[in-house]
Structure 1
Amino acid sequence: MNRTRLLAAAGTATALLLAGATPAPAAPEKPDRATAAAAPSAGNDVFRVSVQRTEGLGVGSFTVRTGPAHPAGAGRDVLFGGGVPGTSFMTVRDLTSGVDYVQSQYLTMPTEIALDSVYWTQSALGTTGFRTHWSTYTDAPGDGKLVLIDQDVVVHGSTVADSSVEVTTTVTGSTEDTFQLQYLWDTAAGTDDGPVLQAGAYNPFAASETREATLSAVDSVALADNEGGPTLTYGLTGTGPARVTPPPTPPQALQFVCWPRAVGAAPGPYQTDPAIDVATTGAGCPGPSGPDSAVRYLFAPAKVGPSGVRASASLFSTTPDPTSITVAPARLGSPALSATLTSRGHGVPGATLTFAAGGRTLCSAVTNPSGVASCGGLTEGLAALLGYSASYAGGGIWAGSTGKR
């Protein structure tokens, strides 16, 4: 292990703290997806995870995309990156020595040491994930204490109903120092780098959180895109939910934050500011492509002791809301065919309905804000006089359905 380089960095960090130095946070720049080094991918047909293995880019940092069986379609961001990891990562705080080991290239505080600078290995966990291991010493030369850090990023399940992405960090070693683990997850939803948040299960017709906020003892939270209407949603664990295995570690704090602000903040407690918009206008949170939201986990401090310190959180899939279609009688006029798509008693806007009769498609139309879609003229009306159907294929938010008359 590269003990000499680590101890030199730790000494520099301590000297800066004793001198009362205040670092100037650098403006964070996200990785260039087109030129960033390729990262290995693993998972199932619902979620694919990629984990960084290139030194200098945050070894072990991770990102998540949808797979081919996801109802919102394949290759859509769930954590930012387009398959290139680098902006979602963990920090291991040694509260005894005052050193913060950061799994990222974003070092903005004098206490921070990049985990890239210590000995590390990475291995596959079958075909569904990766384990990254770091070995290092803490404290002064001659009084070194071995610290072992393991991070597992692994996909569980096989269907939309049971798939989840588990991130677990474990600290062990020949030390009884007190450690505190934290995660910063750069949430995304498709091309929207500033998704909105709701506490609990996602309801597409309910109000969402769009500003920085600290949530207390929530079972879970849901994220969804809000640029042109929701098309993709997923959940993040809090104290639950019970369906996620292994059970997550209840966080000391779960916060909805501005990624550029949080990535430059000091490790440890973070003060959210409700005046900062992270998901709509981006006021106070200008990301490279507009609003830039993230979720920040802080776990309770604990001594390593014989069983180590462990923190686990998961991202999980959600089943699309059921829908129903009410078909109106055919008319010999224009529009000849009409149907209403609803969910939870509300009209579903922006969904494409396909009208058919006699085994052939007659026309298709997009639902208006009330969930009504209409199309066709005299020819389609005549073809539908003996009965016709309207179908919605479904997507990441609403499930497919068919109505007949």
Structure 2
Amino acid sequence: MNRTGPLCAAAVLLLAVATPAAAAPEPPAQWKTRTHAALAVTPTFGNGVFRVSVQQAQGLGVGSFTVRTGPDHPAGAGRDLLFGGGVPGTSFMTVRDLTTGADYVQGQYLTTSTEIALDDLGPYTEAIGTTGFHTNWYTVLGSGLMEIDQYVTVHGSTVADSSVEVTTTITGTSTDTFQVQYLWDTAAGTDDGPVLQTGAYNPFGATATREVTLSGVDSVALADNDGGPSLSYGLTGTGPARITPPPTPPQSIQFVCWPRAVGAAPGRYRTDPAIDVATTGAGCPGSAGPDSAVQYLFAAAPIGTSGVRASASLFSTAPDPTSVTVAPARLGSPAVSATLTDTRYGRGVPGRTLTFGAGGRTLCTGVTNANGVAACGGLTEGLAALLGYSAAYAGDGIWAASAGKR
């Protein structure tokens, strides 16, 4: 959305009399804590799967945002996918003017004299129905007008088709060359240091726990690792093909330590495979332990009058399907048992609770072992189950609900 007239004239006057100065650096952990605790104006929108909050308070990073699960998400409502507990501030966009060397930063953490807070450019914000939010900034450069528009939009209505699209466009008359970077402070529930996989999430697959730079990948997945996984989600790369509109392929995707990466200029951060961001936090001391993040860097391009589009989507797929196979009852201990299987991978699911019942009442509950087998009960439960019993798994954000009977 273009703004003209007195507003534009005021912006030109502002630039003529003052150049925004960089704030004094402070420890990232302290800044993150302060941002999270701030009483900010944060409109919330989305659908039943994703709820997005966007910052509107000037001085706190207008347009920065965070994402949580909604009431229809299988992992339950109110779980972080990006850090913040519903208060944005640590996931944001930076635009680098490669011609002048200036960095236009959406967040609050300014570390060098070349950085300019986008908050100082008089941002304009507007809701787009109940599923989107638009933020606009513009300024006059030596070579002409630069206008930045960010759109955060929630698409879909089910777990399988919902996504959060973040699109940044740069338009205007400037002939400078620009580059867009996103730094997303990933979380998975209360785990601020989730692990990463490339491609769709596989709960039995190997995970990355250290910094790494990726290129050309279709997508990446994040999941909590404080105990058994309970929440996973995906971030786009060159795909996946089912995401609409399709994402712009990034130049690189970096899995990084948020406190180390937050102050780096676009394209300047170098990942270090010795830095653990998801387990011990060695080399990455977040405010509450390991603190991983995902950083997108998009290809540089001149805007001319055609614009540059950079986007990425936070998406979700349905939990893995499961089955429950019930064994014959025994007049001993354990009396009842069943196996919970991930039918996508043909593997037993560990660490999940099965509820056993017969005759309309619960007999007992058991937790699955490494092979997916849960067992419980003694003689009393065995007698009650002789004529038939059932076992049920309630489901969560990783594995879907299922039940079996005998």
Q: Answer yes or no: same fold by TM over 0.5.
A: yes
- List aligned pairs for 1:207-218, cutoff 5 A: 207-218=206-217
Shift of 1:151: 0.2
Q: Which segment drifts farther, 235-244 or 90-99? A: 90-99
Q: In structure 2, which of residues 91, 96, 107 is the aligned counterpart of residue 93 of structure 1?
A: 96
C-alpha distance in 1, partners of 2:38/2:222? 28
- Aligned position for 2:176: 177
C-alpha distance in 2, partners of 1:349/1:38? 42
C-alpha distance in 1, partners of 2:245/2:97? 25
Amino acid at match of 1:125: I
Classify 1:265/1:207 alpha carbon distance in 2 versus 1 (closer, same or farther; 3 Å): same
Classify 1:97/1:34 alpha carbon distance in 2 versus 1 (closer, same or farther; 3 Å): closer
Q: 2:389 aligned with 1:403, yes or no? A: no
- Aligned position for 1:109: 112
Amino acid at match of 2:79: R
- Aligned position for 1:195: 194
Partner secondary structure for residue 379 of structure 1: helix
- Aligned position for 1:18: none
Partner secondary structure for residue 30 of structure 1: helix
Shift of 1:335: 1.6
CA RMSD of aligned residues (A): 1.7
Q: Which segment drifts farther, 346-355 or 181-190? A: 346-355
C-alpha distance in 2, partners of 1:61/1:11? 19
Amino acid at match of 2:207: S
Aligned residues: 392
- List aligned pairs for 1:170-319, cutoff 5 A: 170-319=169-318
Amino acid at match of 1:228: G
C-alpha distance in 2, partners of 1:138/1:81? 34
C-alpha distance in 1, partners of 2:233/2:283? 25
Classify 1:111/1:7 alpha carbon distance in 2 versus 1 (closer, same or farther; 3 Å): farther
C-alpha contact (below 8 Å) 1:6/1:117 kept by paired residues: no
C-alpha contact (below 8 Å) 1:95/1:179 kept by paired residues: yes
Q: 2:136 aligned with 1:137, yes or no? A: no
Amino acid at match of 2:368: T
Q: Which segment drifts farther, 267-276 or 227-236? A: 267-276
TM-score by length of 1: 0.93
C-alpha distance in 2, partners of 1:279/1:4? 47
Shift of 1:357: 1.5
Classify 1:8/1:44 alpha carbon distance in 2 versus 1 (closer, same or farther; 3 Å): same
C-alpha distance in 1, partners of 2:53/2:221? 22
Q: 2:338 aligned with 1:339, yes or no? A: yes
Partner secondary structure for residue 133 of structure 1: strand
C-alpha contact (below 8 Å) 1:5/1:117 kept by paired residues: no
- Aligned position for 1:26: 26
Shift of 1:266: 2.3
Shift of 1:9: 5.7
Partner secondary structure for residue 134 of structure 1: strand
C-alpha distance in 2, partners of 1:275/1:377? 50
Q: Deviations over 1:222-248 (max 9, x none)?
A: 000000110000000000001111110
Shift of 1:24: 8.5
- Aligned position for 1:16: none
- Aligned position for 1:363: 364
C-alpha contact (below 8 Å) 1:135/1:147 kept by paired residues: yes
C-alpha distance in 2, partners of 1:77/1:147? 34
- Aligned position for 2:326: 327
Q: In structure 2, which of residues 108, 111, 124 is the aligned counterpart of residue 121 of structure 1?
A: 124
C-alpha distance in 2, partners of 1:340/1:234? 26
C-alpha contact (below 8 Å) 2:180/2:266 kept by paired residues: no
Q: 2:33 aligned with 1:68, yes or no? A: no
Amino acid at match of 1:171: I
Classify 1:126/1:180 alpha carbon distance in 2 versus 1 (closer, same or farther; 3 Å): same
Shift of 1:267: 2.5
- Aligned position for 2:7: none
Shift of 1:359: 2.4
Classify 1:236/1:7 alpha carbon distance in 2 versus 1 (closer, same or farther; 3 Å): farther
- Aligned position for 1:147: 146
Classify 1:329/1:122 alpha carbon distance in 2 versus 1 (closer, same or farther; 3 Å): same
Classify 1:272/1:223 alpha carbon distance in 2 versus 1 (closer, same or farther; 3 Å): same
Q: Deviations over 1:229-278 (max 9, x none)?
A: 10000000000001111110100111100100100212323211000000
C-alpha distance in 2, partners of 1:318/1:8? 51
C-alpha contact (below 8 Å) 1:31/1:86 kept by paired residues: no
Classify 1:333/1:386 alpha carbon distance in 2 versus 1 (closer, same or farther; 3 Å): same
Classify 1:377/1:7 alpha carbon distance in 2 versus 1 (closer, same or farther; 3 Å): farther
Classify 1:298/1:7 alpha carbon distance in 2 versus 1 (closer, same or farther; 3 Å): farther
Q: 2:57 aligned with 1:54, yes or no? A: yes
Partner secondary structure for residue 150 of structure 2: strand
Partner secondary structure for residue 81 of structure 1: coil
Classify 1:278/1:336 alpha carbon distance in 2 versus 1 (closer, same or farther; 3 Å): same
- Aligned position for 1:376: 377
- Aligned position for 1:351: 352
Structure 2 unaligned residues grouped into runs of 5+ = 1-9
Partner secondary structure for residue 243 of structure 1: coil
